[in-house]
Amino acid sequence: MNESSKINFLHANNGKHTFHPMGHPAELEQNPARIIDKAEGVYVFNEKGEKVVDAVGGLWNVNLGYSNERVKKAITDQLDRLPYYSNFKGTTNPPTIELGERLVSLMKPEGMVKAFFTSGGSDSIESALKIARQYWKMLGQKDRYKFLSFKKGYHGTHFGGASVNGGERFHRSYEPLLPGCFHMPYPAPYRNPFGIDDEEQLVQTCLKLIEEEIQFQSPDTIAAFIAEPVLGAGGVYVPTHSLWQGLRALCDKYEILLIADEVVTGFGRTGEWFGSRYHGVAPDIMCLAKAITSGYFPFGAAMVNERINDAYMTNTDPFGGLFHGYTYTGHPVGCAAALATLDETYEANLAGNAKEVGSYLISRLKGLQDKYEMIGEVRGVGLMMSLDLVSDRSTKAPAAKELMGPLADHAWEAGVMIRVSGNVIIMSPPLVLTKEEADKIADGLDYAFGKIS
Ligand SMILES: Cc1ncc(COP(=O)(O)O)c(C=O)c1O
């Protein structure tokens, strides 16, 4: 097939034979997905060769950019040596052993002692929720099966994750979901229903409501609280450290497990290696995925602390077996990709770069907020940020959804790929981003807002 007939083929078949996640299939036929055909550094190219800065970083995951030779080589070397072998009872492989040791030593400040490997974020969440329930059963507290989470949170797409997710669109069409999941208000100052402007006061109000819910449910029925250290897909909300410290204190008071969903915040995105470290909190379970391999291989992990490991180690009944796992748990190629990604993340000090370039980009975005009335709020930390668009700054009424597609198209024309979710632009560029590339993103958005204002 020559180049032009290949492009014709792609256009004719785009969206015809595949469902895409997180959108209406019928809409996709009218608005075909952008075809991303190639990538280099922090740039992606479409099928026509148009080149843009990827301000989305794949999907919060391509922290190293697209051209990391060390990770590619680790993958191909491992494919040559051992492309697959199972981690089910009785067998393992060297990269599994090495990665387990590496993650545990990396996560010493959080007190993690063991890893359970998965194929991605939703798997890591599912593993964490199941481990949390099993923990309490092993301790003889069989009533502790409930989960608490935040209304704005996102924890993936399996039934467990969907059940603890906030946002009715993740629930409504798939109900009935897991019984025993309760959703708490998130202390997001912008448009909060309490009318509280002082953020600390808002945090303390939400913590009080959480405590009230714990008491209402009866503490000895709650297995775990799950939350994102920085709330991502729900609109990028950066909570105060006091929220996380307050959650830890409540969990300690009522012996509830604290699960940190670090699928987005893990590996430097917030400017610290982990979101929990950013808050100075040690959870009981930490869910990892995405940037653990910079997106080069589908991979993830659920990490547990000594408290949970001890319960397994001291259990003597048959129900302490971990009868949970995936064909691809401990996939040698995924583990090799993760090891190389960790080396690169450390050597290039990507967390430090996220802090520096992230604060620069956020300050550029705040400059755009001064210029364009429709930017109601700029939120972010490190290299995760959002612009909350409004039709009226005084009422904070969300901007019309019809504006968002054209805005993204104009950003593309100006050489920037952005992601829109409702009335919010969400950005999470690769952590190798330079200030010059951050300028390209801000200038591209300036052009796009200029077009629709
Ligand atoms: C915080 C969080 N948890 C879990 C997930 C699910 O991860 P995956 O899409 O790899 O299953 C996501 C995905 O974006 C996420 O943002």
pLDDT at residue 167, as a whole number: 87
Domain with CATH 3.90.1150.10 in the chain: 34-64+349-452
User: Which residue did the predictor score with more confidence, 431 or 4?
Assistant: 431
pLDDT at residue 28, as a whole number: 84
Q: With 90 as the cut, is the pLDDT of residue 88 above it?
A: yes
**Start-end of H helices in 256-403:** 275-279, 306-314, 332-347, 350-371
Write the CATH number of the domain with boundaries 71-347: 3.40.640.10
From 150, 285, 290, the mutation candidate for ligand 1 (largest count of ligand atoms within 8 A of CB) is 290
State the closest ligand 1 atom to the C-alpha of 233, by its place in the atom list counted from 1: 16
Separation between Cα atoms, residue 176 and residue 70, nearest integer Å: 45
- CA dihedral of residues 307, 119, 108, 70 (deg, nearest 10): 170
Q: Which fold has domain 34-64+349-452?
A: Aspartate Aminotransferase, domain 1 (3.90.1150)
Encode pLDDT of 330-366 as tens digits. 999 999 999 999 999 999 999 999 999 999 999 999 9
> Prior bond to 176 cis, omega within 30?
yes
DSSP string, 21-43: SSS-HHHHHHSPPP-EEEEETTE
Quick one: how far is CA 271 from the chain centroid? 15
Give residue ranges with CB within 6 A of ligand 1. 120-122, 125, 154-157, 228, 232-233, 261, 263-264, 289
Residue recorded with tokens 């300050």: 363
- Residue 27 pLDDT class (50, 70, 90 cuts): confident
Separation between Cα atoms, residue 399 and residue 290, nearest integer Å: 30
How far apart are the CA of 283 and the centre of ligand 1, in A?
Answer: 18
How far apart are the CA of 120 and the centre of ligand 1, in A?
Answer: 8
Domain with CATH 3.40.640.10 in the chain: 71-347
State the closest ligand 1 atom to the C-alpha of 228, by its place in the atom list counted from 1: 1
**Average predicted confidence (pLDDT) for the chain:** 97
Q: With 90 as the cut, is the pLDDT of residue 101 above it?
A: yes
Separation between Cα atoms, residue 237 and residue 252, nearest integer Å: 24
Query: Per-residue pLDDT averaged across 194-206, rounded?
Result: 97
Encode pLDDT of 379-403 as tens digits. 999 999 999 999 999 999 999 999 9
From 56, 122, 126, 226, the mutation candidate for ligand 1 (largest count of ligand atoms within 8 A of CB) is 122
How far apart are the CA of 394 and the centre of ligand 1, in A?
Answer: 33
Q: Identify the three-state secondary structure at position 355.
A: helix
How far apart are the CA of 141 and the centre of ligand 1, in A?
Answer: 30
Encode pLDDT of 206-244 as tens digits. 999 999 999 999 999 999 999 999 999 999 999 999 999
In the chain, the amino acid numbered 99 is L
pLDDT at residue 31, as a whole number: 86
Q: 333: which 2 tokens?
A: 């190629």
Q: With 90 as the cut, is the pLDDT of residue 55 above it?
A: yes
Tell me the CA distances in angstroms from 180 to 140, 340, 444, one per residue in order: 18, 40, 45
Predicted model pTM = 0.98
Quick one: how far is CA 404 from the chain centroid? 22
CB-CB neighbours of 364 under 10 Å: 18
Are 112 and 303 contacting, i.e. CB atoms less than 8 angstroms apart? Answer: yes
- Residue 181 sits at φ, ψ, to 5 deg, of -110, 130
Are 293 and 100 contacting, i.e. CB atoms less than 8 angstroms apart? Answer: no
State the closest ligand 1 atom to the C-alpha of 123, by its place in the atom list counted from 1: 11
